[in-house]
Amino acid sequence: MNVLFIHQNFPSQFVYLAAHLAQKKQNKVVALTMSQHNPIPGVMLRPYTLLRPAAPETHPLLKDQESKILLAEACAAAAMQLKHEGFVPDIIIAHPGWGEALFMKDVFPQSKLIIYCEFYYNLEGQDVGFDPEIPLLNFQQRCRLRLKNSTNLLSMEIADAAISPTKWQKSTYPSWAQEKITVIHDGINVANLQFNADARLKIAANEHHAVLSFKPGDEILSYVARNLEPVRGFQILMRSLPNILRNRPNAHVLIVGGDGLSYGHRAPNSLSWREHLMAEVGHELDMRRVHFLGKVPYQTYLDLLSISKVHSYWTTPFVLSWSFLEAALSGLPVLASGTQPVTEFAERLGVETFDFFDYDAFAEKAIRQLQTKTSVRHSVHFPELHVENSVKQQMKLISSI
């Protein structure tokens, strides 16, 4: 079987499925991508680049559309080259969010197309308007958000099947589109999440403290996000810390995440959200015990899960983070926002939830958990999220079309 993956940051959500397919000698697996990082043995990477820059005179409401057309055009050109070389996929598996799948059926009309349905933008009832601190969208921003779905819709029209990782993410799509979507999570490699009693995490010396080293059993509160921003409740964490640190004088807080912006609204005055929240509550924090780690290697993140005593997770009604599921499956106690992406899994994972904005309630629960004697950690049994099950269900869907 010939398989073509399309994702500008490949392998991303396709990492386990691509590896499984590439292990079979009878398969030829190719990935069109803009990234050449994290290659998978047996997968041939074919990078593509834009054929032309965006036009400066493009209508403001069409700038996002144009960027996706440019990516679709570049991806189609790379696909045509593959076709010229004799590679015609039986199956195309694509993330449609950046437009890359738009012209694939025009290049390969007989190929079956499966798209990954991560999120459908809505003006009400999801992330938009959820946080009263974030300014409401103006008319042009509302129009731009509505147009943001056009690529999703066009890709859905040509797709033979679609996958969403969670029931809630599927539910964001229009009802007619949901008929095409099968819920299959990307898969969690639970073997990586085994508790490591020998884990250590070293913090370099700075103006606040000498070199620090943490191990399992230390009083650690952890927080992980790609970037520190309100979509992932960073402001709630920061506002809860003065209370937590006052009540737990030996506690340390380890915060993983960059200063960029993955989603949503920028902080005021061109600051990062970390800078903005430090200006608000930093004077109340003992910075000898609050540690911003930035973005860390995956092994450091895994060590953090073993070292942490309690993990915090927030999300607005938006895409659910792998880190939430990984932390909970590892057996690490997790306190999380009671928003729809979380509540879909919270009960089975044994996760305690609270109102997204109630940082006092979170602080009380975190204090209680931090003062609890460390117990033997047991991973959570949730086989539907395991890699093996996810790949099995993905292969079943591929076979069905």
pLDDT tens for each residue of 367-390: 999 998 877 788 899 999 999 999
Domain ranges of the chain: 2-185+387-400, 190-383
Three-state SS for the chain is: CEEEEECCCCCHHHHHHHHHHHHCCCCEEEEEECCCCCCCCCEEEEECCCCCCCCCCCCHHHHHHHHHHHHHHHHHHHHHHHHHCCCCCCEEEECCCCCCCCCHHHHCCCCEEEEECCCCCCCCCCCCCCCCCCCCCCHHHHHHHHHHCHHHHHHHHHCCEEEECCHHHHHCCCHHHHCCEEECCCCECHHHHCCCCCCCEEECCCCCCCCEEECCCCCEEEEEEEECCHHHCHHHHHHHHHHHHHHCCCCEEEEEEECCCCCCCCCHHHCCHHHHHHHHHHHHCCCCCEEEEECCCHHHHHHHHHHCCEEEECCCCCCCCHHHHHHHHCCCCEEEECCHHHHHHHHHHCCEEECCCCHHHHHHHHHHHHCCCCCCCCCCCCHHHEHHHHHHHHHHHHHHC
- Tell me the percentage of the chain whose pLDDT exceeds 90: 92
Cα–chain center distance at 50: 25
Do 190-383 and 2-185+387-400 fall under one CATH topology?
Answer: yes
- Tell me the percentage of the chain whose pLDDT exceeds 70: 100
Give the span between the Cα atoms of 116 and 155, in whole angstroms.
10
Give the span between the Cα atoms of 105 and 82, in whole angstroms.
14
What's the mean per-residue pLDDT of the chain? 95
Confidence of residue 353 (pLDDT cuts 50, 70, 90): very high
Confidence of residue 9 (pLDDT cuts 50, 70, 90): very high
pLDDT at 264: 78
Are 225 and 232 within 8 A, CB to CB? yes
Per-residue pLDDT for 295 more than 90? yes
**Mean pLDDT on 279-298:** 97
pLDDT at 39: 83
How would CATH label the architecture of 2-185+387-400? 3-Layer(aba) Sandwich (3.40)
Give the span between the Cα atoms of 165 and 177, in whole angstroms.
15
pLDDT tens for each residue of 23-63: 999 999 999 999 877 789 999 999 999 999 999 999 999 99
**Mean pLDDT on 309-322:** 97
| Model confidence, pTM | 0.94
pLDDT tens for each residue of 251-273: 999 999 999 988 878 899 999 99
Give the span between the Cα atoms of 261 and 234, in whole angstroms.
12
**Mean pLDDT on 193-215:** 95
**Mean pLDDT on 92-106:** 96
pLDDT tens for each residue of 72-81: 999 999 999 9
Name residue 143's amino acid.
C
Per-residue pLDDT for 111 more than 90? yes
pLDDT at 378: 86
pLDDT at 373: 83
Give the span between the Cα atoms of 262 and 365, in whole angstroms.
28
Select the CATH number that applies to the domain covering 190-383 from these four: 3.10.20.30, 3.30.1490.20, 1.20.140.10, 3.40.50.2000: 3.40.50.2000
Are 133 and 140 within 8 A, CB to CB? no
